[in-house]
Amino acid sequence: MLYLKTDEEVGMLRRSNLLVSKTLAEVAARLKPGITTLYLDRIAESFIRDNGGVPGFKGYGGFPNTLCTSVNDEVVHGIPSNYTLREGDILSVDCGVILDGWYGDSAYTFAVGEISDDLKKLVEFTRASLEEGVSEAVAGKRVGDISYAVQQKAESGGFSVVRELVGHGIGKKLHESPEVPNYGRRGSGPLLEKGLVICIEPMINLGRKETMQMRDGWTIRTVDGKPSAHFEYAVAVDKGKADVLTTFEFVEEVLNKT
């Protein structure tokens, strides 16, 4: 059963996702070689609480922290730690909040200092595959149209699409129906209707698509040890054009200054 949100409810989700967008910019402002992922986690948690929100991931299914921080061959769900970021790393930061009962959820993959051309291309194509998916999040289309668009773009760059983890509906729960895979057939899956709010979140690998879970019970990494990138938007399906509730403009303002 799909829960279609009213305009007012979409407005509430816009607020919670705006707080996520601003939290990611706080992370961007501190990110540099030599700092730990746990430091970024503390910055994010304070910022969310100072702005009236509650970290959305902390305690969710027992997850211990505010951010998921996934470095290099870690795909998603990395646990912040004393790992010290190094020049040339890529860091995927996934952030969730609850604001007035509504969830926000989005992710951005950052370059730590200068990164290799291969990594630049991976990050660029992952971001572009998200944008392709968003352009299909229109009333009257189907979830499979989004999935197909993401997959086509990612694979056109020679990259592979993670299968084990998918996007999702979002609202008063972090994960609602439908599932939004990053691979699939055009015209398949649930119908997209105005008011459906979904997270589109391609996880794209430089090498093979297969992943495995670490013994910490959370971290997902690539089986072949090659890097992976992740971007995520929360999007309200609308007529004619998707209404993107996440914005990376605050992140980019910070990144363009440094």
Complex with Mg ion: residue 43 or 68, whichever CB lies closer: 68
Complex with Mg ion: residue 43 or 199, whichever CB lies closer: 199
Question: Does residue 105 bind Mg ion (CB under 5 A)?
Answer: yes
Q: How far is the CB of 174 from Mg ion (least distance, A)?
A: 7
Taking CB under 5 A as the criterion, the residue among 94, 136, 145, 238 binding Mg ion is 94
Question: Does residue 197 bind Mg ion (CB under 5 A)?
Answer: no
Question: Does residue 200 bind Mg ion (CB under 5 A)?
Answer: no
Question: Does residue 235 bind Mg ion (CB under 5 A)?
Answer: no
Q: How far is the CB of 220 from Mg ion (least distance, A)?
A: 13
Question: Does residue 176 bind Mg ion (CB under 5 A)?
Answer: no
Scan residues 107-166 and list those touching Mg ion (CB under 5 A).
107
Only segment of 22-30, 121-129, 232-240, 250-258 that touches Mg ion (CB under 5 A): 232-240
Q: How far is the CB of 232 from Mg ion (least distance, A)?
A: 5
Question: Does residue 67 bind Mg ion (CB under 5 A)?
Answer: no
Taking CB under 5 A as the criterion, the residue among 90, 196, 199, 237 binding Mg ion is 199
Q: How far is the CB of 201 from Mg ion (least distance, A)?
A: 5
Complex with Mg ion: residue 116 or 248, whichever CB lies closer: 248
Only segment of 22-30, 58-66, 105-113, 120-128 that touches Mg ion (CB under 5 A): 105-113
90-93 LR contacts (CB < 8 Å, sep 24+): 90/115, 90/119, 90/122, 90/123, 90/227, 90/229, 91/31, 91/37, 92/68, 92/228, 92/229, 92/230, 93/24, 93/27, 93/40, 93/67, 93/68, 93/69
How many chain residues bind Mg ion (CB under 5 A)?
A: 5
Complex with Mg ion: residue 31 or 107, whichever CB lies closer: 107
Which residues lie near Mg ion (CB under 5 A)?
94, 105, 107, 199, 232
